[in-house]
Amino acid sequence: MPENEAEPNVPRGVIAYGAVQQFEKSPVSQTKEQTQKLYSQGAARLLARATDHYGIAREILEPRIKAAVEKYILKYDENAQTQTLNDFIDSLQADDLCLIVACEQGNQKAWGDLVERFSVTVRSAARSASSNEEGAEDLAQSIWAELHGLRIREDGKPAGKLAYYSGRGSLAGWLRAVVAQLAVDQHRKTSRLVQTEEDADFDRILSQGHDDNSWTSHGVVASPEVQVSRKFAAADMQKALAGSIAQLSAEDRLLVKLYYFEGLRLKEAGAMLGVHEATASRRLTRIHADLRRAVEKTLIEERGWTRTETEEAFFDFAIHLEGDIERLVTSEGVLMKKETGSPLKSS
Amino acid sequence: MKKTDNNQMDLVLRGLAKGRRDDSSLDIGSSFRDGKQESSTHLDADELNSFAEGLVPELARVRYVEHLADCSNCRRLVVSLTQASGNLSTSPVADKQTGPGFWQRMSAFLSPQVLRYAAPALVLTAVISIGLLAWRQQRNQDFVVQHTQSETRETNSAQPPIALETTNASSRETPPAPQVTVESKSRTDSAATGNNNPQPVQGEVAKTLPDSGMLAGAPISTDAVPAPPPVAVEPGASRTQPFFSPEPKPGTYESAQTVLSDKKNEASKEEQPADRLAQQRERDDASFKRGNEYEVRNAPKVGAVSGPRRAEAPMSASRAPAKGKKDSDSDEMRSVSGKQFRRQGNVWIDSNYESSRATINVTRGSEQFRALVADEPGIGAIANRLGGEVIVVWKGKAYRIR
């Protein structure tokens, strides 16, 4: 298809930036016409950037661009500068977005290209999310159906997931995310019906470990009074700790979750947060101190603990949990089996 | 916080994570549909992917972080997507907190918190620098004055000592002024202490004359100082000490000699007739004082001062106590070939000579001297009669014979 067919009035590569500049200093609270013009010009520039735009008309692309802008920019900043919007539009994945929009429009060539280019990606993502090859193959097949859409919209076109690709990230990444979400949904549906033996083992271990946090199962068997006392103390400690974690900032909380609960290394957690490993380490050290202070404050002021009792509890709790970790590591096989069966396991 | 406390908290968190695998927000209740339906509760695939690829705008990212911090499902998906995309294995993105930018650092450097300490420190440093500079300049001027005055005293003290008679014949190449000083000083010291060894004194004199090289090149030279009369050894020779040297202790021989010399000078001053020569000397004094001031103002030009000024510097540099000595120096008058010569320091000066007149420098024994003597035998006779440096006015020209 000729390149200038999608933008007959504007030659490719010579998009009227001068017309764009008149909005650059103005906020988005401009008239509807100006906003529409901004999207229209953005669509024209995106089509010009695409290697193959599959004959998509600018008017078809404008709603997608508008949806992406509103989703990522205007939803959080209604007075965003025009320059910000233009930069955002110009950073969209032109080729991927044109391919998806073309598929959505029923372009068979685009479908062929999509399957040809991304079938390997979808299959790989399905294998990562599934416990076996057969399940992975089923998942991959269902993905294509989900993308195409089994339902028909009011305009007569299939209501597939393709409509939700904004072009912000890569199409391959988006497909992996769709596969993962679909795998989670399928896993939930099946897990509600049948609780596997592995799940039962896992839950038993977790509950046992949780109960054992009262540090009664190690060392010399304590008297029932001491066991009850320790159990209450452990409960207080866990509540205080959970409350302290909840009071952390979102970034700090996410770092703690990524590092301790998701098992990422500091380098990986830092990469997800966009900071260097050293920065993540420093931040984690500060979080330790903050949590320690917050937990101590909660235990002393709300639970009536003395400082000595708090320090001893931390010491005992740490030693006890160290034993727990060792025990959990020995039963790692069960955990691994559980994680292998989980659709959320890391690839 | 102590490191052990950190370790304990780390262990507690690890244990909690291992025991529960997640916190209380383990709320797998809502299913993942699409962004339109579940955007209020969970991130959709597009948002998850954008976050995993680090392409979310900042404001949206804040909201996503808040959600991911509390939603284990989305967090696990993001982790898996990030690992699948390879973003975790690669080097982390540019650290947002690795360090502030240039302008941030500059603004931090110029912040009031820094300036409240830096400004007084800068002011104090500036004051100290200015004070040090001014002190050094003042010190340089003092050096010039001291040098000039010490030079003057050297010339004053260069009354031909007896010891000089035996050495001046072989010391043509030696800078005369320090040697004279050493001789006279050592003599003074030996007179005061009874020690005849002048060596230790030489170093001391060298210290008091840091720029003796200027004296070496000075027109005043004792090279050709003839055998002086015995009266050249005067009590005033004890003043060869630099004026900034410690004052002699009262009761010593030197101080007694100084007192006697001052009294003698006072007496001689009273006896001196107010004749033409005295007027000439007064004029010379005035002109030499001007010259001395000129030297102080223009220190680098000290060495370039013309001969008469340097020769008569002792007079300009003399102070009230030294004035008697100067007058006693100028007492010696001689008449040679019908011309009157008075002696100033080591120089015989024609009474017709005016200090403002330019002189022709002629060195004894030089080709120029021989030619001059051949043309004007009278000058040769005068030069032979008067040893040392002679300034003679001959046929309207002033010759300085060294």
What digits encode the pLDDT tens for the residues B246-290? 444 444 444 445 444 555 555 444 445 445 555 655 665 555 455
Contacts of A6 (CB under 8 A, 6+ apart): A47, A53, A55, A56, A57, A58
pLDDT reported for residue B375: 86
pLDDT reported for residue B362: 87
A164–B35 C-beta distance less than 8 A: yes
pLDDT reported for residue A104: 85
Interface test with B, best of A175, A272, A345 (most B CBs within 10 A): A272
pLDDT reported for residue A286: 92
Identify the weakest region by mean pLDDT among A185-199, B124-138, B188-202, B349-363.
B188-202
pLDDT reported for residue A272: 86
Which B residues in the span 24-43 are in contact with A, Cβ-Cβ below 8 Å? 24, 28, 31-32, 34-36
Which B residues in the span 70-109 are in contact with A, Cβ-Cβ below 8 Å? 70, 72-73, 75-85, 87-88, 90, 92-98
pLDDT reported for residue B144: 56
Its sign, for the CA torsion B377, B378, B381, B387, is: negative
Q: Does the pLDDT value for residue B36 go beyond 70? A: no
**Mean pLDDT in chain B?**
62
CB A112 within 8 A of CB A99: no
Q: What is the mean pLDDT of residues B306-323?
A: 41
Identify the weakest region by mean pLDDT among A146-155, B83-92, B289-298.
B289-298
Chain A residues close to B66, C-beta within 8 Å: 250
CB B151 within 8 A of CB B215: yes
CB A321 within 8 A of CB B11: yes
A324–B19 C-beta distance less than 8 A: yes
Chain B residues close to A270, C-beta within 8 Å: 92
Q: Distance (Å) from the C-alpha of residue A66 to the closest C-alpha of chain B?
A: 15
Chain B residues close to A324, C-beta within 8 Å: 15, 18-19
Q: What is the mean pLDDT of residues B301-307?
A: 40
B190 touches chain A (CB under 8 A): no
pLDDT reported for residue B285: 58
A291–B9 C-beta distance less than 8 A: yes
Q: What is the mean pLDDT of residues B142-146?
A: 57
Q: Distance (Å) from the C-alpha of residue A8 to the closest C-alpha of chain B?
A: 31
CA nearest to B88 within chain A: A268
Give the orientation angle of helix A224-247 with respect to helix A307-330, to 10 degrees. 90
A276 touches chain B (CB under 8 A): yes
A165–B92 C-beta distance less than 8 A: no
Chain A residues close to B99, C-beta within 8 Å: none
A88 touches chain B (CB under 8 A): yes
For the stretch B220-238, pLDDT in tens is 433 444 444 444 444 444 4
Q: What is the mean pLDDT of residues B81-90?
A: 72
pLDDT reported for residue B58: 87
Q: Does the pLDDT value for residue B105 go beyond 60? A: yes
Of B15, B63, B81, the CB nearest to A173: B81
Contacts of B34 (CB under 8 A, 6+ apart): A161, A164, B44, B45
A303 touches chain B (CB under 8 A): no
Q: Does the pLDDT value for residue B242 go beyond 60? A: no
The residue ranges of chain A whose pLDDT is under 70 are 1-30, 150-158, 191-222, 320-347
CB B360 within 8 A of CB B392: no
Q: Does the pLDDT value for residue B367 go beyond 80? A: yes
Burial class (CB within 10 angstroms; exposed 0-12, middle 13-18, buried 19+) of A52: middle
Q: Does the pLDDT value for residue B130 go beyond 90? A: yes
Q: Distance (Å) from the C-alpha of residue B104 to the closest C-alpha of chain A?
A: 19
What's phi and psi for B399, nearest 5 deg?
-115, 135
